[in-house]
Structure formats: structure tokens, C-alpha cells
Amino acid sequence: MLVILSDTHATDGHRLRGRTLDAVREADAVIHAGDFYREAVLDDLRREASTVYGVTGNNDDDALRERLPRDRVVGYEGATVAVRHRSRSGATGLVMFGRERDADLVVFGHSHRPEFDDSGEIPLLNPGSYAQPRGNRPAHAEVTRTDEALSGELVTPDGEAFERFSVPVRSP
């Protein structure tokens, strides 16, 4: 399982709880789409997860900017996931970012609003914020690979799966 997080905005720990903590501990890998806020949050998350792929967000400190890239590509079970915190050009910029990286899925954060949008050329996934939802539903995403797709759901820390999605994966 691939767990996707974003927008922790903490200074001293990962703030994981409930299903979110369990999912991180069970995951093959975790993607964090930026705004850890302080370096201690990344370090604390890495103590819980076997593998963490993070990118920096607009609120991350200099220590995080030295350790993490602004964007990255993650391979998962034959799928290509392009990750960045945000795009100043909105959905169009995120799709272009994904297209340039031959991605099956683009993961982003910033708005704290969990959402999946497959209306464009490349599906876009924002896992929201499990720790600081800012008026949105607290959430993370859980993704698994099936025969021809990434199947996923947006899940609250209380364990409620409130949106399911599927992303076709192109054959190599």
C-alpha cells in the first residue's frame, strides 16, 4: 500500500493518529506532498514509515529545503506518480507537470482540501491534511495497485473512507 499525506504544519512531531498512523506503519511507502513545516516532523515520520518520499512546501524551513526536492517522481508497482506541493498555474500547471514526467497520477497539496480530479488528461490527487484540515475534512489517501490501475480512497484519521478512485496505469 502507498499512503499519501500533505500539509502537516507541525513543529515537533508528525501528529499522526488513528487510521492515518496505522496506514503509515503498514505502508510499503509514504508520499508527503510538502508543508511538513519543521525538520523534526520529517524525522518523526521516518521513524514510523519504512520509506518516505517527501517534497518541500511553501511553509517548510530551510533545513527541509536542504534535504528534500521541490518536486519528484515516485515509481510504485509500475505506476509513475509525480509529486509537488502546488502549482501557481492551478490544475493546468499540475497536468503539464505530470505530462512532462510521463506520470499516471499527479499528487499535490497546499489547499488542505482532499480531492481527486480525473476530468483532465492526468488525474490529480490532493490528500488534504490529516493534521490541520482548516475547515476541510481531515484526510490522507491510501492507494494499492490492481491489475491495470491504482485503486485508492480518501480516508479520515477515524477510518472513514469517504471517496474512492481509480487511476488507469499505462502499460510500459
Confidence (pTM): 0.97
The order of strands in the sheet holding 71-76 is 71-76, 79-84, 105-107, 124-126, 115-117
**For the chain, how are helix, strand and coil distributed in percent, rounded to 5?**
20, 30, 45
Average pLDDT of the residues of the chain: 97
Residue-wise pLDDT for 18-34, tens only, equals 999 999 999 999 999 99
Contact 127, 33 (CB under 8 A): yes
What is the pLDDT averaged over residues 146-171?
Answer: 95
Closest CA to 3 of 60, 54, 40, 47: 54
Burial of 36 (0-12, 13-18, 19+ CB in 10 A): buried
Return the pLDDT at 170: 82
Report all structural domains of the chain as residue ranges with CATH numbers, in order of start.
2-168 (3.60.21.10)
pLDDT of residue 96: 97
